[in-house]
Chains A and B, each alone.
Chain A
Amino acid sequence: DVKVTQSSRYLVKRTGEKVFLECVQDMDHENMFWYRQDPGLGLRLIYFSYDVKMKEKGDIPEGYSVSREKKERFSLILESASTNQTSMYLCASSPPPGQPLHEYFGPGTRLTVT
């Protein structure tokens, strides 16, 4: 069965801290994504990666960076956490072209920055 896991369900950090959110998928997918979910705004794409060490900015990359050293792992980094980054963060992966397009999501990490 397909699985995307995220390192924490809930996280509380202080303003200015460096925060790492980890995501692992076991489906050998090339494409991985980080979204943030806010009420009334739906999900918005922060960054995505289409291969190891390859990344592209999404719609709201400011204040975030990512790392993908291995195919199965995609990390989201908040270099200096701020209160406006309090949100739900969802990781996803999708198969390469040629397979039915379908993003598989992790359970999400609820991050609170105080």
Chain B
Amino acid sequence: AQTVTQSQPEMSVQEAETVTLSCTYDTSESDYYLFWYKQPPSRQMILVIRQEAYKQQNATENRFSVNFQKAAKSFSLKISDSQLGDAAMYFCAYSRGTSYGKLTFGQGTILTVHP
């Protein structure tokens, strides 16, 4: 069975600084996707970034980027120039390529942004 582990229950960062959230996963599959989702205090979960396992290039979305280390099964999220609106719970998630999109989630990391 696939597992996803986020070892940082809480992280904090100063506004305008950079923070990295860690995620490791375990799978024997070769075709899969990895995601970072953000859940602000209002609770609507939104997609931050997606990485296809077959792509060697790390995904980026504006201030958000990932460090995808396939051999190490590591998938960290870097947030640059942190903003107050980045404060949220962040979930790392895994989906097998042929699983209809079923997600396996990590435990979550609460990110606090200090002004």
Contacts and interface: CB of A to CB of B under 8 A. Distances in A.
Interface of B is mostly: loop
Contacts of A58: 102
A55 B105 CA distance: 20
Given A45-B103, A58-B102, A103-B103, 9 more contacts: A31-B100, A35-B103, A35-B105, A42-B107, A43-B91, A43-B103, A94-B100, A101-B33, A105-B44
Interface string A12-49: 00000000000000000001010100001111110010
B78 interface: no
Interface of A: 31, 33, 35, 40-45, 48, 50, 58, 88, 90, 92, 94-95, 97, 100-103, 105-108
B55 interface: no
Contacts of B91: 42-43
